[in-house]
């Protein structure tokens, strides 16, 4: 392409609304434009990157035998009622009514539609397994759209769904997608990490997230510094530190703590550190009120708690419930004498002579020990923090890093096939439910993640496989005929070999052209300057390095072609 003919509306100033670097650079480099909150137009450069990501995804999905389809954005309410998600999905699901008063929604995901398709068309075990995928526009009415296309309301997703006859088959389909995703993110040129993710009540470790490592990422990854354990914060388990503790009881005493409710207030007032306190948190759940006990310096992980107790609903109890269940006001709850079930974090096993709430206004109890009350059991219910012991190996401790979730794979089991009655007949004519999996990649978010991972003060540093152009041929002086002739020659040789080349034929100052080339992150640049050309040379520069390499005009295209091939087959 000729730069002069391209629609590349770049911006010099940093846009105010952009909080993260990818959003800022995508606006400045003319990749995207905002139409409404969380709704964006892709401009030619951005779209070229998006299409390259799509192409890599297609190739790797097809290689695993997945087949591409395209489902509608508009979905009927009835299917969502069948799966019970019409009620459960909440406000992210954009619902509307047509002229015939039919209720519809914009698809935030396609389990319902694809399950309906497959249950109608697949009757026999002979037609299974099958994995279908699409690259399609989703709509989620996100509560806080932000970071440009990283968390938008309308966005492009690759979503795939597998259908198998049994667990073993479903496990294989899952592993195929696991491998495909690794290949996809490798080929995109990412530094990424696969982590165990929350599976809700389905349980097992059959969900993984693919996280691009970036300090600006919204997600926290917890991993072991010694073994391969890695999980997102929601799911991260904590190992048990073995410390002996005595079995004392009965020595506790009442202490007055006027108006001291919070952990830091009580610990300051009593002059002890927060880890000498035990928090008693009362929750309302779909299985009644419960109390959860955790050391004063730690937080409860609601996701782990919900999974442990197989809860659909979990929320902090209101003041009235607290008074009713404990006899005392908010801020003074303690485990002694409570009749609701108490679930204790593991740490409690190793605590001695600690302080708890007195279930009475302005009162705490000190020198309490585990024997002074009864708990249902000891569990891992706290939020992991760096320095915690690894849950898998003996030696490791946990560390935290940040990442951007670009992909998520999930073993669904019978969840949708049961609720939507998707069955097949086995060889003996017996009916069974299909075993399903689902697999998503945020295509736009993948482009943004590449920019979060690769940038400097001058702009984007994009991995070659997904950069909008692979090389920019840049004649410094477009009015110098020999320069233009050499530039055109190199450019045409590159095009003939299928290299994605841009020729900056604009009659602009060299500084402007260099800046634009850097801003839009083109990985390779061939600079054709008058002085070098006198010696028959041009300069090749990689976006990420400061070094120039001088090569003869006749060798420039060959060298570039080699670099492009190397980058694509790392």
In the complex, which residues of this chain contact ligand ATP (CB under 6 A)?
109, 140, 142, 151-152, 155, 157, 405-408, 440, 442, 444-445
How many other CB atoms sit within 10 Å of the CB of residue 70?
8
- 3-class DSSP state for residue 90? helix
Give how far the C-alpha of residue 504 lies from the chain's centroid of Cα atoms, to the nearest Å.
37
CB 175 to ligand ATP: min, Å: 18
Nearer to ligand ATP, 147 or 229 (CB): 147
Nearer to ligand ATP, 211 or 471 (CB): 211
Nearer to ligand ATP, 405 or 472 (CB): 405
CB 220 to ligand ATP: min, Å: 12
CB 142 to ligand ATP: min, Å: 5
Give how far the C-alpha of residue 104 lies from the chain's centroid of Cα atoms, to the nearest Å.
28
Nearer to ligand ATP, 208 or 364 (CB): 208
CB 209 to ligand ATP: min, Å: 7
CA distance 464 to 541: 14
Task: Decide: 158 and 122 in contact? Cβ < 8 Å.
Answer: no
CA distance 171 to 164: 9
CA distance 106 to 38: 15
Nearer to ligand ATP, 389 or 411 (CB): 411
Radius of gyration (C-alpha) of the chain in whole angstroms: 29
CB 153 to ligand ATP: min, Å: 7
How far is residue 449 from each of residues 166, 185, 191, measured CA to CA in Å? 36, 11, 10
Task: Decide: 277 and 353 in contact? Cβ < 8 Å.
Answer: no
Task: Identify the H or E element spanning 67.
Answer: strand 67-68
Using Cβ positions, the residue closest to ligand ATP within the complex turns out to be 442
CA distance 362 to 331: 9
CA distance 490 to 479: 17
Query: Taking Cα atoms as reference points, which of 518, 519, 539 lies closest to residue 530?
Result: 539
Whether omega before 129 lies within 30 degrees of 0, making that bond cis, reads yes
CA distance 467 to 197: 30
Nearer to ligand ATP, 148 or 291 (CB): 148
**524-528/537-542 β-pairing:** antiparallel
CB 150 to ligand ATP: min, Å: 6
Task: Decide: 416 and 217 in contact? Cβ < 8 Å.
Answer: no
Nearer to ligand ATP, 389 or 445 (CB): 445
CB 300 to ligand ATP: min, Å: 20
Nearer to ligand ATP, 155 or 206 (CB): 155
Task: Decide: 300 and 322 in contact? Cβ < 8 Å.
Answer: no
CB 409 to ligand ATP: min, Å: 9
CB 56 to ligand ATP: min, Å: 15
Give how far the C-alpha of residue 319 lies from the chain's centroid of Cα atoms, to the nearest Å.
36
Nearer to ligand ATP, 22 or 478 (CB): 22
Phi, psi at 80, each rounded to 5°: -75, -25
Nearer to ligand ATP, 334 or 444 (CB): 444
CB 120 to ligand ATP: min, Å: 25
């Amino acid at each position: 392409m000729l730069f002069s003919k391209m629609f590349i509306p770049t911006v010099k100033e940093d846009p105010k609304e952009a909080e993260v670097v990818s959003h800022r650079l995508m606006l400045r480099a003319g990749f995207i434009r905002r139409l409404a909150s969380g709704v964006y137009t892709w401009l030619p450069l951005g779209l070229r990157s998006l299409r390259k990501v799509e192409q890599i995804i297609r190739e790797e999905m097809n290689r695993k035998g997945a087949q591409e389809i395209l489902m509608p954005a508009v979905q009927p309410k009835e299917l969502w009622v069948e799966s019970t998600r019409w009620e459960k999905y909440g406000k992210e699901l954009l619902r509307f009514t047509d002229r015939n008063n039919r209720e519809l929604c914009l698809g935030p995901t396609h389990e319902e539609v694809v399950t309906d398709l497959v249950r109608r068309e697949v009757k026999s075990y002979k037609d299974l397994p099958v994995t279908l995928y699409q690259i399609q526009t989703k709509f989620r009415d996100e509560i806080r759209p932000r970071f440009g296309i990283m968390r938008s309301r309308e966005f492009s997703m690759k979503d795939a769904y597998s259908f198998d006859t049994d667990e073993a088959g479903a496990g294989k389909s899952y592993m195929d997608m696991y491998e495909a995703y690794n290949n996809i993110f490798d080929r995109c040129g990412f530094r990424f990490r696969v982590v165990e993710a929350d599976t809700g009540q389905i349980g097992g470790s059959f969900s993984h997230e693919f996280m691009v490592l970036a300090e600006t990422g919204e997600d926290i990854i917890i991993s072991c510094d010694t073994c391969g354990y890695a999980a997102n914060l929601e799911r991260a388990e904590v190992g048990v530190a073995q410390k002996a503790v005595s079995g004392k009881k009965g020595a506790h005493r009442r202490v007055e703590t006027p108006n001291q409710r919070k952990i830091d207030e009580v610990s300051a007032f009593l002059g002890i550190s927060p880890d000498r306190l035990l928090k008693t948190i009362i929750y309302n759940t779909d299985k009644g009120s419960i109390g959860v006990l955790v050391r004063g310096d730690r937080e409860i992980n609601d996701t782990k708690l919900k999974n442990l107790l197989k809860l659909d609903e979990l929320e902090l109890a209101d003041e009235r419930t607290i008074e009713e269940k404990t006899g005392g006001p908010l801020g003074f709850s303690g485990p002694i004498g409570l009749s609701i079930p108490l679930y204790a974090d593991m740490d409690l096993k190793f605590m001695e002579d600690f302080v708890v709430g007195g279930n009475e206004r302005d009162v705490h109890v000190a020198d309490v020990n585990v024997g002074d009350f009864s708990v249902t059991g000891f569990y891992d219910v706290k939020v992991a923090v760096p320095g915690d012991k690894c849950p898998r190996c003996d030696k490791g401790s946990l560390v935290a890093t940040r990442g951007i979730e670009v992909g998520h794979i999930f073993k669904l089991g019978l969840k949708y096939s049961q609720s939507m009655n998707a069955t097949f007949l086995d060889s003996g004519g017996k009916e069974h439910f299909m075993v399903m999996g689902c697999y998503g990649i945020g295509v736009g978010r993948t482009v943004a993640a590449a920019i979060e991972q690769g940038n400097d003060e001058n702009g984007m540093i994009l991995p070659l496989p997904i950069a909008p152009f692979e090389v920019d041929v840049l004649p410094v002086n477009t009015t110098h005929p020999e320069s233009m002739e050499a530039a055109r020659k190199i450019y045409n040789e590159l095009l003939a070999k299928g290299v994605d080349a841009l020729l900056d034929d604009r009659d602009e100052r060299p500084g402007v052209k260099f800046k634009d080339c850097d801003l839009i992150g083109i990985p390779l640049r061939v600079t054709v300057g008058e002085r070098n050309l006198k010696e028959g040379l041009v300069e090749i520069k990689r976006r990420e390095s400061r070094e120039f390499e001088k090569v003869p005009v006749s060798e420039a295209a060959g060298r570039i072609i080699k670099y492009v091939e190397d980058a694509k087959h790392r």
